[in-house]
Amino acid sequence: MSKPITPILVIACLVAAAGYGGWSYWKAQQNLMPPELYGGNGRVESDQVDIATKSAGRLVNVTVREGDKVEPGQVLAQIDTAELQAQRAKYAADVAYAEASKIEAGATVDQRAAELRFREDDVARKTKLAATGAVTQEALNESLSNRDASKAVLAAARQHVAAAERSVEAAQALVALADTQIADNTLSSPVRGRVLYRLANPGEVVASGGKVLTIVDLEQVYFEMFVPSEQAIRLAVGSPARIAPDGTDIAVPARVSFVSPDAQFTPKQVETRSERDKLMFRVRLRTSQSLIERHIDIVKTGARGVGYVWIGSEKPTWPEFLQKRIAGDPLDVEE
């Protein structure tokens, strides 16, 4: 009597059959493609932006959650600024004190300038009198000495004004620094994107440079795939391409935006043909930003698919399975 087939064996057979069927379908599609067209697996990627603190502080508020869409300039989190506000108040008081000192120094200059004018008039008067013998030379010399002393005192007073001006500027710089530090504790989004990770919560103390959020930049979305060296050597930036996301029956028009200058997956020194066949080059495909904008709510980084690149120099002739577009797709993305 034969043993009954176990469920595990049945499942394994079904998985193997499905895998073979998928591989057979993919192989059939490859056979339908012209020789100038290459297709390879890849996935949707995007630049990630870390929202981090510039200085240590306690997190007061986080206004977004994972999955939320954010706009440039939108406030995302707030760090406590009570200590910085107190420092700013002190710096503002220092500015007021420095400005008062500057005014006082200016008044002193005016006083010393008046004294100098009096001394100069006295010198002029005694010089005339000394010429007629009405004033002794000793009296004239004393007047000259007093005038020179007044000049030195005036110069010193003007130096005090300059120093007071520098003190005002230094105090104002500290206020500006405090304002900058306070502004840095309001964390805003620099890009249009979606929150990928929320790494801290209100009440936590975040270290300097500590990450609070990670945002996916939806304005820097691309499809990344790998192309063998034989095809990559003929592939140029700007070449037409198609992106076929898994689970859909559409092909998104795109263009090659980047071809890595370095090969992947093999040693730097390759001698044999069999080793050269393993060389793969990283390639990025980008579609129109307007298309991404229209479908921004369903754009998912990490989504898998197949990328197709046209390697020929002539106008591409896409197979039928790559001709179905998204409704409203701009035609100028490929021609």
Q: How confident is the model at residue 142 (pLDDT cuts 50, 70, 90)?
A: confident
Q: For residue 333, what pLDDT is reported?
A: 46
Q: How confident is the model at residue 233 (pLDDT cuts 50, 70, 90)?
A: confident
State which residues form the domain around 74: 51-81+186-211
Which amino acid makes up residue 125?
R
Cβ atoms within 10 A of the Cβ of 155, count?
12
Q: How confident is the model at residue 335 (pLDDT cuts 50, 70, 90)?
A: very low
How many Å apart are CA 92 and CA 323, to the nearest integer? 67
DSSP state of 191: S
319, 285, 309: which is closest to 231 by C-alpha?
Answer: 309
Q: What is the pLDDT of residues 189-230, one digit of tens each?
A: 999 999 999 999 999 999 999 999 999 998 889 999 988 888
Tell me, yes or no, whether 98 lies in a domain. yes
- Looking at the fold, whether 194 and 242 belong to one and the same domain comes out as no
How many Å apart are CA 211 and CA 77, to the nearest integer? 11
- Looking at the fold, whether 77 and 87 belong to one and the same domain comes out as no
Q: How confident is the model at residue 286 (pLDDT cuts 50, 70, 90)?
A: very high
- Looking at the fold, whether 242 and 280 belong to one and the same domain comes out as yes
Tell me, yes or no, whether 143 lies in a domain. yes
For the cut 90, the answer to whether the pLDDT of residue 79 exceeds it is yes
The mean pLDDT of the chain is 83
For the cut 50, the answer to whether the pLDDT of residue 290 exceeds it is yes
- Looking at the fold, whether 60 and 191 belong to one and the same domain comes out as yes
Q: For residue 6, what pLDDT is reported?
A: 62
Tell me, yes or no, whether 63 lies in a domain. yes
Tokens of 231: 């095809």
- 253 in Cβ contact with 287 (< 8 Å): yes
Q: For residue 271, what pLDDT is reported?
A: 52
Q: What is the CA radius of gyration of the chain?
A: 39
Tell me, yes or no, whether 19 lies in a domain. no
- The number of folded domains in the chain is 3
- Three-state DSSP at 29 gives helix
Q: How confident is the model at residue 157 (pLDDT cuts 50, 70, 90)?
A: confident
Q: For residue 85, what pLDDT is reported?
A: 94
Tokens of 312: 């020929």
Q: What is the pLDDT of residues 43-62, one digit of tens each?
A: 999 999 999 999 999 999 99
Q: For residue 199, what pLDDT is reported?
A: 94
What separation in angstroms does the CA of 54 have from each of 180, 199, 207, 211? 11, 16, 9, 10
Total-model pTM? 0.66
- Looking at the fold, whether 192 and 261 belong to one and the same domain comes out as no
- Sign of the C-alpha dihedral, residues 211, 213, 216, 220? negative
- Three-state DSSP at 151 gives helix
Q: What is the CATH number of the domain that holds 308?
A: 2.40.30.170
